[in-house]
């Protein structure tokens, strides 16, 4: 199973418009971060996690093939703002979108033209499916377990797929969710920056402490803002087995 990081940036991306800091003016492509999204693929199956406003640009860089499932962590714009751009993939059939009830309601409100009885020609054909934490989802040969994550006071979803756990926009996690993270090899988790605490996102030290409570041998940080520092410099000081992810990075993970 191959994990591809489509985007590893926070809600405004990196570089940030108008900023002249060393990260935003860096010529290292690892320091350019589109909005947070990822893709999990096997020979038979493609799953996309979140569909932010950079989705079109992200998918132009990928092979054009069927999306078997689009998993939504939550309905904030930086995670669903590219939903209309799934239209080309409707060539392969309806796009099956899986989200919790709160995100499903939000998607119906933000994309009402996709869910009318009589659809305007050319609109994306989206089939919404409601999922809940711990209720196992089977997409072809891949088993997916939704996890409960807290984004400040907003309950959102993380996803366990085989030996991979993908978590973003987390501030805290219910204690019982840790039981689902004791047989993973690879953890993807958000780490906004090193200092200046945020009410709904973890800092690097918080993400490291969380990772140590799982069985993950490999940890990749995502959803990072420019304040985290230069990719090359930060990777040198992170603990062994922990890395800043970057747009386009691919990682092999056991199913």
What is the domain extent for residue 58? Answer: 2-248
pTM, to two decimals = 0.98
> What is the band of 69 on the pLDDT scale with cuts at 50, 70, 90?
very high
Does some domain include residue 147?
yes
Sheet holding 46-49, edge to edge: 126-130, 95-99, 69-71, 46-49, 37-41, 2-7, 250-252
By percentage, how much of the chain surpasses pLDDT 70? 100
Residue 128 has pLDDT above 90, yes or no: yes
β-pairing, 186-190 vs 164-166, is parallel
Domain count, the chain: 1
> What is the band of 55 on the pLDDT scale with cuts at 50, 70, 90?
very high
Does some domain include residue 27?
yes
The pLDDT, as a whole number, for residue 118 is 87
Average pLDDT over residues 14-43: 98
Does some domain include residue 77?
yes
Looking up residue 166, the CATH number of its domain turns out to be: 3.60.15.10
Does some domain include residue 219?
yes
Does some domain include residue 119?
yes
Average pLDDT over residues 147-160: 98
For 165-216, write each residue's pLDDT tens digit.
Answer: 999 999 999 999 999 999 999 999 999 999 999 999 999 999 999 999 999 9
Q: How many CB atoms lie within 10 A of CB 117?
A: 4
Does some domain include residue 102?
yes
Average pLDDT, the chain: 97
> What is the band of 134 on the pLDDT scale with cuts at 50, 70, 90?
very high
The pLDDT, as a whole number, for residue 164 is 98
Does some domain include residue 253?
no
77 touches 53 (CB < 8 A) = yes
By percentage, how much of the chain surpasses pLDDT 90? 97
Does some domain include residue 255?
no
Average pLDDT over residues 39-65: 98
The pLDDT, as a whole number, for residue 89 is 98
Residue 120 has pLDDT above 90, yes or no: no
The pLDDT, as a whole number, for residue 117 is 86
Residue 18 has pLDDT above 90, yes or no: yes
């Amino acid at each position: 199973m191959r994990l591809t990081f489509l985007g590893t940036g926070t809600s405004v991306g990196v570089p940030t418009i108008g900023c002249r800091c060393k990260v935003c003016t860096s010529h290292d492509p690892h320091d350019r971060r589109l909005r947070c999204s990822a893709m999990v693929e096997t020979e038979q199956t493609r799953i996309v996690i979140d569909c932010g406003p950079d989705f079109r640009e992200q998918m132009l860089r990928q092979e054009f093939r069927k999306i078997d499932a689009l998993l939504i962590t939550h309905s904030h714009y930086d995670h669903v703002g590219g939903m209309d751009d799934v239209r080309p993939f409707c060539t392969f059939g309806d796009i099956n979108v899986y989200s919790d009830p709160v995100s499903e309601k939000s998607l119906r409100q933000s994309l009402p033209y996709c869910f009318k009885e009589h659809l305007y020609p050319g609109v994306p054909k989206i089939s919404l499916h409601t999922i809940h934490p711990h209720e196992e989802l089977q997409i072809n040969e891949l088993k997916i377990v939704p996890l409960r994550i807290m984004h400040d006071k907003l309950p959102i979803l993380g996803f366990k797929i085989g030996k991979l756990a993908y978590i973003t926009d987390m501030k805290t996690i219910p204690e019982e969710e840790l039981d689902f993270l004791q047989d993973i090899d690879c953890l993807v988790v958000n780490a906004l920056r090193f200092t200046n605490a945020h009410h709904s996102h973890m800092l690097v030290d918080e993400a490291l402490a969380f990772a140590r409570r799982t069985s993950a041998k490999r940890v990749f940080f995502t959803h990072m803002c420019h304040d985290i520092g230069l990719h090359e410099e930060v990777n040198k000081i992170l603990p062994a087995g922990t890395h800043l992810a970057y747009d386009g990075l691919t990682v092999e993970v056991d199913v």
